[in-house]
Copies of this chain bind each other. A is one copy, B any other.
Amino acid sequence: MPYTAPLTGVVPPLCTPLTPEGEVDVDSLLRLVDHLVAARVSGLFVLGTTSEAAFLTDRQRRLVVETTVAHVAGRLPVLAGAIDMTTPRVRERVASVADAGADAVVVISPFYAATHPAEIARHFRLVAAASPVPVLAYDLPAAVHTELPADVVVELARDGVLAGLKDSSGDLAGFRQVAAGVRAHPAFTLLTGSELLVDAALALGAHGAVPGLANVDPHGYVRLDRLWRAGDTEAARAEQERLCALFGIVRVGDPARMGRSSAALGAFKTALHLLGVIAGPTTAEPQVPLSQEEVNRVEGLLIEAGLL
């Protein structure tokens, strides 16, 4: 993780392959890393929401970081999530992933307990003060049920607390406000977590993207990023729209039977399984698996997208 320039390009948030018993499938994880590195992504993000970090035990989390870091062997920066509820617990998670070799940590706002923006800022300050590696903030209101205000991010960037932001808020107006506010801090890394608006985010000042769908089609996102940087916005837009269609896989799971996490992560893992990257589509408990008919629809979308 560079301290002096932003991280650019595609940084996939890795799925965590699991055995049918719910253990980390290390062989599949290594193949997934290879699959992504081969597509020339710019970095890897483990233990995020897409990684089912909320479902992994602390031991499993550590195994994921150690495995990934060892396999990557410095070829790319490895960012690791430190998802937990509050400052004291997040500090422990940060220490653990840093000790396991992560180049940077990605830290979310407190959740479960109701917090005030001033407490959110305080959280990031305390966590960063104790972190041996750079800290990026992770804005995911759908998970934590608070907003990370743009002015808080800008203040924390200015004070050197945050080295970057992964924005999964869906609020591009707030993203634009952050982009304008951190322009004075040239090493600050601004990443979008959107699968659907990477070109729009790059136009607003994003340095890169962390799309969960990049597990499935890393080449597509790398192409999109390069086309956009080369100034070919029309071709970038066409690539983005192809990826938007592919993202339809997350709407395959029946909402009458499963939550959004099961549907999205089940679709990513099913696709990776169909592509031969991972050994099986198991998601962690209490998520429910896709039905065979839903698997077939994922397969159909992979074919339409030219991946199968």
Contacts and interface: CB of A to CB of B under 8 A. Distances in A.
Interface of A: 22, 49, 52, 54-58, 60, 83, 85-89, 92, 110-116, 118-120, 122-123, 126, 142-145, 170-173, 176-177, 180, 194, 196-197, 199-200, 203-204, 233, 237, 241, 244, 255-262, 284-288
Contacts of A49: 112-113
A10 B202 CA distance: 25
A119 B144 CA distance: 19
A120 B197 contact: no
A259 B86 contact: no
Copies of the polypeptide in the assembly: 4
A113 B259 contact: yes
Q: Which of A52, A142, A173 has the most CB of B within 10 A?
A: A173
Contact of A113 (B55, B89, B92): B55
Given A285-B126, A286-B120, A54 B85 contact: yes
Given A111-B111, A203-B237, 5 more contacts: A57-B92, A83-B85, A115-B259, A120-B286, A126-B286
B54 A116 contact: no
A115 B145 CA distance: 14
